[in-house]
Structure 1
Amino acid sequence: MTTTTRDSVDVAGTRRTFTTVASTADSASRALVLVFHGSRQSGDKHRAFTSQAYDRFAAAGTAVVAYLDGYQGAWNDARRESRFAARRDGMDDVGFARAVITKLAADHRIDSRRVFAIGYSNGGQLVMRLVHEAPELLAGAAVIGATMPAPENFLATEAPPAPLPMLFIHGTKDPIVSYGGGTMGWWKRRFFKVGGRSWSAPRTARHFAERNGSTAGPVITREPARPGAVTEVERSDYREDGAPPVVLYTIHRGGHTVPGSAGNPRVLGRTSREVEAAGLIGTFFGLLVGSGADSSPVGPQ
């Protein structure tokens, strides 16, 4: 069984809220998973948007899962041309993540060496900011539907590099964040209040592999597709002795969606049923070992 609670922390005089899902069973040590939603969502809305799939980590007793709420529906990410309220008002979202970790470590039996971040879209942008600015907080990170801002569009302060295992998921027909990178169209810049150039999904994965010290190119495999499948999955693996792994799942014909989730709006494109994001992420980080997902678990680096 799991329990769901609403809580808050004070960050620079602002009350920030989040939802926590945890097992009722006693556990000597659990990981912590921080989930960062997309633009115009909240933690609870993203929990519903993903069909509560990440709750599986709590149900398995391997992790406490925290769904954090952005400021007025967004995160102060590292894109130079972001113009939403979180940027305008200078919200300290890195400090928010740090405060949630501190609070939940005190309230639950959290292994501070096993804190993982999952971010979708604007939340994925914040996760990449965390990896650059506060990597000491994390044991690994997963990014869905977001790519690295190009250097001239990136504002994050670079901390001393701390190699981390990273997992990326991106659809080739994403109508919001282009798989191939570049600049958003005018209506998207206006609606989402963002801009600037971004890298492609493969270039983003290579960036983090290189930060981890990997010099070899990826090993690319195409996953078997079932008859009639609307999407196909390709996996690019950066694995090298001494370097934490980086994996990119390319969802061919997939949209700006979270694979395996139900009920995503059609405007976001197709949702893959060939893989499930929570299963891939959980197995990659050792939270659902034996779940049947096809990625090797990694431990703290």
Structure 2
Amino acid sequence: MTRHTIEAGGRPRTYTVVGPRDGADARALYLIFHGSRQTGAKHRAFTGGAFDAPAERGSAVVVYPDGHKGNWNDARRSSAFPARLENVDDVAFTRALIGELTVSHRIDPGRVFAVGYSNGGQMVMRLAHEAPELIAGAAVIAATMPAPEDFLLAGAPPVPMPVLLVHGTKDPIIRYEGGRPSWWVRTVFKVGGQSLSMPRTAAYFAARNGITAEPVSTTLPHRPGSTGRTTVERTEHRQEGRPPVVLYTVHGGGHTIPGPAKGPAVIGRTNQDVSTADLVAGFFEDVRRRPEPVRNRAADSAGPTPRTS
């Protein structure tokens, strides 16, 4: 594990890499975007290093970028933290990271997957709309799609891509049912505006992928020894020839990442029947085995740049 600095968007930016330079050629790249008031290192500790597994197996390089003063400049109109107020170019940072790692670690730029938690999940949704040519898939944890009137990229043309979503129904920060954040969330995290519910978020991405088939839901079994206080339901939006959208609803779960590392009690319960890191890796590996129809991602991705007013 090594920490690096790169110039991007006129600023020095930092990131931590898990995976050796001298590994196999054409490895996948996992970009792990942390939540509000975290750093890449803090998020890695928060998840117990679970997302490192593909790097440890030698199949991927895993990178934990650092946001500006603890945040990412997402595309929510009402965000008011420094990264947004200073209009930090996190898309340029992502682009520079991918370019650097393509050379230094010989990653396959066609197998870059963005994974984000909370504010990091919002950043992943920005990438999916503003720079979809950069990523082959998106995983969004504990974040819902902003309502069109509160999303700076609402006019971006759809570019289909596989999307995995994970959210707890008892999330006290980003409500599963959507709507406006509570007053304390607006005050502490400097966010606002309306958002879609998580099921509507999944339907939104399914529609962008051209999926018209009805979703199919399955309740997953408890792990042996589980307390049973939370339950995971998988809802799949799938259609032949279309990239899938899969939602894992954690009934009773909080603003947490299901897996071996429990979050603080104040943000709700952490489900341990599943490992989000394993779900993400399995989802993207399955997508790679069953590739979507070939298209020119760069040509498809021309869209508006977010406005800051």
Give TM-score, length-normalised by structure 2: 0.91
For residue 298 of structure 1, what is the aligned residue in structure 2? 287
**1:51 alignment partner, SS class:** coil
Give the Å deviation of 1:28.
2.5
Contact 1:23 1:59 in 2 (8 A): no
1 CA distance for matches of 2:156 and 2:102? Answer: 23
Q: Deviations over 1:205-257 (max 9, x none)?
A: 11001100101121011112356412101000001011100000000000000
**1:31 alignment partner, SS class:** strand
1 CA distance for matches of 2:107 and 2:22? Answer: 14
For residue 32 of structure 1, what is the aligned residue in structure 2? 29
Give the Å deviation of 1:199.
0.3
**1:182 alignment partner, SS class:** coil
Range that drifts further, 233-242 or 217-226: 217-226
Contact 1:133 1:157 in 2 (8 A): no
Which amino acid is the alignment partner of residue 254 of structure 1?
A: G
**Equivalent residue for 1:146, pick from 143, 147, 166:** 143
Aligned ranges for residues 100-179 of structure 1 at < 5 Å?
100-156=97-153, 158-179=155-176
**Equivalent residue for 2:192, pick from 174, 190, 195:** 195
For residue 255 of structure 2, what is the aligned residue in structure 1? 256
Range that drifts further, 219-228 or 199-208: 219-228
Q: Deviations over 1:156-206 (max 9, x none)?
A: 275543210000000000011000000011111010000000000000011
- Displaced runs of 4 or more, over 4 A: 157-160
2 CA distance for matches of 1:76 and 1:26? Answer: 32
For residue 68 of structure 2, what is the aligned residue in structure 1? 71
1 CA distance for matches of 2:154 and 2:253? Answer: 32
Which amino acid is the alignment partner of residue 63 of structure 2?
A: A
**1:95 alignment partner, SS class:** helix
For residue 222 of structure 2, what is the aligned residue in structure 1? 225
Which amino acid is the alignment partner of residue 192 of structure 2?
A: G
The answer to whether 1:10 aligns with 2:7 is yes
2 CA distance for matches of 1:159 and 1:110? Answer: 28
2 CA distance for matches of 1:218 and 1:19? Answer: 37
Give the Å deviation of 1:24.
6.5
2 CA distance for matches of 1:257 and 1:212? Answer: 27
Contact 1:134 1:159 in 2 (8 A): no
For residue 276 of structure 2, what is the aligned residue in structure 1? 277
Which amino acid is the alignment partner of residue 168 of structure 2?
A: G
For residue 85 of structure 2, what is the aligned residue in structure 1? 88
For residue 293 of structure 1, what is the aligned residue in structure 2? none
Contact 1:135 1:159 in 2 (8 A): no
Q: Deviations over 1:61-116 (max 9, x none)?
A: 11101101000000100110000000000000111100100000010111111000
Which amino acid is the alignment partner of residue 61 of structure 1?
A: G
Contact 1:254 1:271 in 2 (8 A): yes
Give TM-score, length-normalised by structure 1: 0.93
2 CA distance for matches of 1:280 and 1:64? Answer: 17
Which amino acid is the alignment partner of residue 176 of structure 2?
A: Y
Q: Deviations over 1:1-26 (max 9, x none)?
A: xxx11112111221010000004763
Which amino acid is the alignment partner of residue 258 of structure 1?
A: I
**2:84 alignment partner, SS class:** helix
1 CA distance for matches of 2:107 and 2:261? Answer: 30
2 CA distance for matches of 1:82 and 1:193? Answer: 6
CA RMSD of aligned residues (A): 1.3
Q: Percent same amino acid among aligned pairs? A: 58
Contact 1:180 1:201 in 2 (8 A): yes
Which amino acid is the alignment partner of residue 99 of structure 1?
A: A
**1:77 alignment partner, SS class:** coil
Which amino acid is the alignment partner of residue 298 of structure 1?
A: V
**Equivalent residue for 2:58, pick from 47, 56, 61:** 61
Which amino acid is the alignment partner of residue 150 of structure 2?
A: N
Q: Deviations over 1:10-67 (max 9, x none)?
A: 1122101000000476313200110100000000000000100111010111110110
Q: Which runs of 5+ in 1 are unaligned?
A: 287-296
Count of residues in correspondence between the two structures:
288
2 CA distance for matches of 1:161 and 1:131? Answer: 9
Contact 1:58 1:64 in 2 (8 A): yes
Q: Which runs of 5+ in 2 are unaligned?
A: 293-309
Which amino acid is the alignment partner of residue 111 of structure 2?
A: R
